[in-house]
């Protein structure tokens, strides 16, 4: 390769990386920091007036209010530059995608953890759908009768012994992708919050996407009382918009916490090779982020959301836990997902695989409980 060609290639790569920089995301965060600092400076007026600390606090007050304009200005500038200048280069090339899937039968994979109260009804609901070829239930080492009841209801049941939501979803996708008689995989939960009837809605979008992400944020399509509190509802939208800003011009995201997705089986190997199953309750946001980094097409579809059967054991247990999960999602989106990977949890699987003499992509410490395998 000639020197001029190498230089041209290098220039193209630098340009491509510059265009894909998430200036809107970083600008939004900088702007938010500036506003928070400014408001803190305004609040300092209260102790100044109440306690007669004007001489002491006035210089600090002025310094805070003055310098809060620095991140505010640069944040706004970065955001405007991304939207007004770079957006036209960031939008997906190739125009509207129309790639119908001829055979729309699906393999459904349900995550489950101590869901004995709901799993049988969930399995029967999906089994009864005319386009569902089979239902897999992956129990994440449940301590109750989840596996037995799922099997009795007609599911292929498996147990993932490595703890963590990310491990369970990873196993769901791994097992579902093995069935070559379906080109589509539905990922969902066995807690009764989702309905098999929404498969028809997801299929309506699949011609335009690699992944159809179900969104629970359409107000008239969710029950009045669900595990998704008002705080979680708007927090979910906020984190979704941060992820959308990171991949400006690529897709629209309003729900980063939903499990319900329709995925083309052909893209699952690429996803599995890139995601980190050691990411726990933040895994859905992680999966969407990685999918967009791989330039897989994602479209959201409104789905119904129902009250959970039994106790929630994930990120929706209460608002405080949801806040922690949300902040960890923000950290993963902004700083990268490796910082969320628990060394202990990652080491558990690595040690067991080495002990069994297997590679990281082989199933080492998992057990097929019941049901046929392709």
Mean per-residue pLDDT for 101-114?
A: 97
Name the pLDDT band for 352 (thresholds 50, 70, 90).
very low
Q: Contact 284/258 with Cβ under 8 angstroms?
A: yes
pLDDT reported for residue 357: 38
Q: Contact 108/121 with Cβ under 8 angstroms?
A: no
Q: Is the dihedral of CA 189, 175, 250, 314 positive or negative?
A: positive
Residue 374 has pLDDT above 80, yes or no: no
Mean per-residue pLDDT for 340-366?
A: 43
Name the pLDDT band for 334 (thresholds 50, 70, 90).
very high
CATH of region 106-370: 3.90.550.10
**Least confident residue range of 62-66, 96-100, 341-345:** 341-345
264-297 pLDDT, tens digit each: 999 999 999 999 999 999 999 999 999 999 999 9
DSSP strands (E only) in 113-258:
132-139, 156-160, 184-189, 211-215
> Around 370, how many Cα atoms within 13 Å sit in the side-chain half-sphere?
13
Residues 2 and 8: their CA atoms lie apart, in Å, by: 10
Residues 277 and 286: their CA atoms lie apart, in Å, by: 9
136-180 pLDDT, tens digit each: 999 999 999 999 999 999 999 999 999 999 999 999 999 999 999
Which is more confident, 318 or 79? 79
pLDDT reported for residue 323: 93
Mean per-residue pLDDT for 221-236?
A: 90
Name the pLDDT band for 361 (thresholds 50, 70, 90).
very low
**Least confident residue range of 102-111, 116-125, 227-236:** 227-236
pLDDT reported for residue 10: 87
Residue 340 has pLDDT above 50, yes or no: yes
Residue 233 has pLDDT above 60, yes or no: yes
Q: Which helix (H) or strand (E) holds 302?
A: strand 298-302
Residue 58 has pLDDT above 60, yes or no: yes
**Least confident residue range of 80-94, 106-120, 256-270:** 80-94
User: Which whole-number Å values give the CA distances from 218 to 65, 69, 182, 262, 286, in the listed order?
Assistant: 39, 36, 30, 18, 22
pLDDT reported for residue 343: 53
In sequence order, the β-bridge partners of residue 110 are 137, 188
Residue 353 has pLDDT above 60, yes or no: no
Q: Domain segments of the chain: what residues?
A: 3-90, 106-370
Q: Tokens 């999602």, residue?
A: 329
For all residues of the chain together, what is the average pLDDT? 88
Which is more confident, 349 or 116? 116
Name the pLDDT band for 93 (thresholds 50, 70, 90).
low
């Amino acid at each position: 390769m000639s020197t001029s060609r190498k230089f041209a290639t290098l220039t193209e790569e630098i340009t491509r990386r510059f265009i894909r920089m998430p200036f809107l995301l970083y600008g939004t965060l900088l702007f938010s920091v500036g506003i928070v600092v400014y408001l803190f400076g305004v609040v300092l007026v209260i102790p100044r007036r109440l306690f007669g600390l004007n001489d002491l606090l006035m210089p600090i007050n002025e310094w805070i209010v003055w310098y809060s304009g620095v991140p505010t200005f640069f944040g706004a500038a970065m955001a405007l530059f991304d939207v007004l200048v770079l957006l036209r280069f960031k939008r997906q090339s190739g125009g509207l995608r129309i790639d119908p899937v001829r055979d729309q039968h699906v393999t459904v994979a349900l995550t489950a953890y101590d869901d004995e109260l709901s799993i049988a009804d969930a399995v029967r609901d999906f089994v009864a759908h005319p386009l569902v070829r089979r239902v897999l239930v992956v129990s994440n080492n449940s301590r109750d009768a989840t596996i037995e009841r799922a099997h009795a209801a007609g599911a292929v049941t498996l147990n993932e012994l490595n703890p963590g939501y990310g491990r369970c979803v990873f196993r769901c996708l791994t097992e579902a992708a093995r069935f070559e008689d379906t080109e589509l995989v539905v990922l969902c939960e066995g807690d009764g919050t989702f309905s098999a009837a929404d498969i028809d809605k997801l299929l309506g979008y699949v011609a335009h996407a690699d992944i159809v992400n179900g969104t629970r944020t359409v107000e008239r399509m969710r029950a009045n009382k669900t595990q998704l509190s008002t705080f979680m509802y708007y927090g979910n939208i906020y984190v979704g918009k941060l992820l959308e800003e990171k991949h400006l011009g690529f897709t629209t995201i309003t729900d980063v916490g939903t499990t319900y997705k329709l995925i083309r089986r052909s893209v699952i190997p690429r996803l599995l090779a890139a995601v980190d199953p050691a990411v726990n309750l933040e895994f859905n946001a992680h999966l969407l982020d990685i999918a967009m980094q791989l330039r897989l097409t994602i479209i959201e579809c409104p789905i119904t959301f129902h009250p959970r059967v039994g106790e929630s054991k994930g990120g929706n247990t209460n608002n405080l836990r949801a806040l922690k999960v949300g902040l960890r999602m923000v950290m993963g989106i902004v700083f990268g997902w490796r910082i969320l990977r628990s060394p202990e949890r990652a080491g558990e699987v690595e040690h067991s695989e080495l002990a069994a003499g297997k590679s990281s992509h082989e199933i080492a410490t998992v057990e097929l409980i019941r049901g046929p395998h392709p």
